[in-house]
Amino acid sequence: MRVIFSGGGTGGHIYPALAVLERLKERDLLDEVLYIGTEKGLESRIIRQKQIPFEAIELQGFKRSLSLENLKTIKLFLQSTRRAKQILRDFKPDVVVGTGGYVSSAVLFAAARLHIPTVINEQNSVAGITNRFLGRYVDRISIAFPEVAEQFPKAKVVLTGNPRAQQVAGIKPNQRLTDFKLQPTIPTLLIFGGSRGAERINAAFLEALPELNQKDYQVLFVSGRVHYAKIQKALAEQTVAANVAVVPYINDMQTVLPDIAVILGRAGATSLAEITALGIPSILVPSPYVTNDHQTKNAQSLVSHQAAEMITENELTGTSLLKVTDHLMQNQSLRQAMGEQARQLGVPDAADRFIKVMQDLIH
């Protein structure tokens, strides 16, 4: 199978593509692959680091307010569509896959115009602008949340789950906590505000730290690289007990998750795919800064199944953090019940389901 992937801007658009690519290789279904992204996006670094063939096109997203920049966006889209058509003609893919981000708009639109089989993956409970646009042109639309189906042409939609889930579903506890000088046998709370960190979550952690130091459970706090210097400065005036570890970032976070009892963090699509695949109880603090408030809707999907608790960013303080984390960390039976509900929402074969959609399009 010759496949072109396109998606970028954030890890949430890149990691599902990598999950499908990895599974294609495992099943010996991949003949050739090419990834199309932008030089400015996170994909240019991640994809090249993995030594996957990469082509860059120049594109930018639309401004939400009236702006002359949108005229430039239209011009770049037309130029990028022409460039994408040339790449597609040269590579001759069997199928083109889009996983979100404005870069995929030109690539998938070009593929549809050339009558090459196309499929997009919508990871969130609210469709992104790019996928809503592409939904009119592509052949199939893979979704992770049933709620988003109504935002696309019904005949094109297939519920597959987020392919990222399959990458983590089989990971077992492996005592990674010892890398952070924590004990593998003690229940551990992970506080994590995403790859860049989250100021409100970080502030709540600092406020709660004096009491967290005295808990009979452990805390692994990931500040985000951007905020780490500020956190270190604040910690210089506080005591950090042996049951608390503070780090800027964890590169292979998925290998740590099986040793975690509860996660407090954002409600991005990739995070929720991992949480449900592994059956981890969670306290979700949706980011209010994302398009269409989709993280809140993502979180509500888990909360409605008793698979997570949710607290808004405005409600999050040191006091409320302690209250909600104690509620779970000090109640093992509740954690087990919530974790089982989360696991039932997981799709451990999501990548295989997605590949089936690709195969059906080709054949």
The CATH number for 131's domain is 3.40.50.2000
| Residue 232 is labelled as binding a ligand | no
Name the strands in the sheet holding 262-265, side by side, starting at the edge strand that comes first in the sequence: 244-247, 218-222, 188-192, 262-265, 282-284, 309-310
Q: What is the largest CA-CA distance in the chain?
A: 64
| For residue 68, pLDDT beyond 90 | no
Residues 247 and 111 in one domain: no
For range 74-99, the mean pLDDT: 92
The answer on 352 and 341 residing in a single domain is no
311 is in an annotated binding site: no
Number of domains in the chain: 2
Is residue 316 pLDDT above 90, yes or no?
A: yes
pLDDT for position 305: 94
How do residues 292-309 score in pLDDT, each as one tens digit? 889 999 999 999 999 999
The answer to whether residue 23 scores a pLDDT higher than 70 is: yes
Amino acid, single-letter form, for residue 43: E
Give the per-residue pLDDT at 62: 56
Q: Is 170 annotated as a binding residue?
A: no
The 3-state DSSP class for residue 191 equals: strand
Higher pLDDT, residue 153 or 197: 153
Determine how β-strand 262-265 pairs with β-strand 244-247. unpaired
Distance between start and end Cα atoms, the chain: 11
Is residue 100 a known part of a binding site? Answer: no
Check the annotation: does 195 bind a ligand. Answer: yes
pLDDT classification of 326: cutoffs 50, 70, 90: very high
Asked whether residue 8 is marked as a ligand-binding residue, the answer is no
- What's this model's pTM, rounded to 2 decimal places? 0.87
Contacts of 2 (CB under 8 A, 6+ apart): 31, 32, 33, 91, 92, 93, 94, 95
Range(s) of the domain holding residue 327: 171-345
Is the pLDDT at 71 greater than 90, yes or no?
no
178 is annotated as contributing to ligand binding: no
Considering the domain architecture, whether residues 218 and 108 belong to the same structural domain is answered as no
Residues in the chain: 363
Question: Residues 317, 213: one domain?
Answer: yes
Residues 181 and 75 in one domain: no
- Encoded tokens for 140: 């199939």
Burial bucket for residue 161 (CB in 10 Å: 0-12, 13-18, 19+): buried
The pair of three-digit structure tokens given for residue 15, joined into one six-digit string: 């990691």
On average, the pLDDT of the chain sits at 93
Distances (CA, A) of 229 to 105, 119, 244: 37, 42, 18
Whether the per-residue pLDDT at 230 is higher than 90: the answer is yes
